[in-house]
Structure 1
């Protein structure tokens, strides 16, 4: 094999003149990936929960709204959605809003478009998890809540959702992991996340193995932390008689 390994390149100052090293680029990309993913996860959990509830309420119009949302965001490829949010949406918004977005610093544009796109895409998947969790509960729980004098929304708030969320912790773990991996697609619109920094490092150093191995290890570290966190959440929230309970 003629490849010349040089792990020391990671500690070398970057050739662009910035006061950092190539390892600093990777750490910067790691921070961007984590920031985008966590912000998008907040959107995904809130929006996904809302539409997941809509899909289970006894109102055909509300259920249809949830179904349409899921159909749109799950059936359009993620990379196409990134292009729509970053390139297309500013052009079709009212001129004042579109121009305001275009006048933002490029980094803010990349970050905000990535967070919104990734959050709403993942929300469609979270929606299905929430719907499944609610539908997995005995019908008597909803009836019991209404019989106690709760309104429909109070029944969801105090009776159904607290149990449904505990049931769906394992599938939510998978979605939480996926949002970190899917964030790599944001590099296609210019976001300097982990994958983009890896390609940039290869362009400047030609040390492709070191670059992508470092980034792979960074993703593995993220996954290990997320898995450990979600195992702890699952252990604390499991209920006897349900999935994962004793």
Structure 2
């Protein structure tokens, strides 16, 4: 079986870091390329790091990539403005998809968010929805869009609002059954694992995966 080659964009983030660790341990991948603003402190024979200007991300052309993992994402508070948030969560993600199309990657796997919709009254969800629609219409071989719920995991930065919401969600998590299961917090490592599992399905077309589905595939053998 031919070995896979991954491109990871957003490897310094919560999900991206878990995704990178899992890919480095995965014997079916023999090369993992990263695009970053600064080098990560990792050494591995499979790892190739590229420092680029994200405003010109669409000009980046890696060689021989089978799967593109887009883990980009920020918050309006961290970005500093709605404009900067839009740049990261929409523009940079679309540019990454353009790279995937240019190199004819078999899979483009991207992180969105629960409730993503162009028609949402919330700016965050609206931008995520616009991103999803743009990706769907790009003519990629296979697109997997993941919509995780509130993320659990070891963040490098402390987000007060998310930590409060996470503690409350953990407390009431046993009550989230049936259709409410989609609102359970999900660990970022599970999301990263699901991304890789979806890529290995070798499907064609566009698929949207809600949080409960993401949890289910990681629990399956």
User: Is TM more than 0.5 here?
Assistant: no
Q: TM-score range by the shorter chain?
A: under 0.3
For normalisation by structure 1, the TM-score amounts to 0.23
Kindly name which structure, 1 or 2, has the bigger radius of gyration based on alpha carbons: 1
Q: Which has the higher helix share?
A: 1
Which protein has greater RCO, CA pairs closer than 8 Å, 6+ apart? 1
For normalisation by structure 2, the TM-score amounts to 0.25
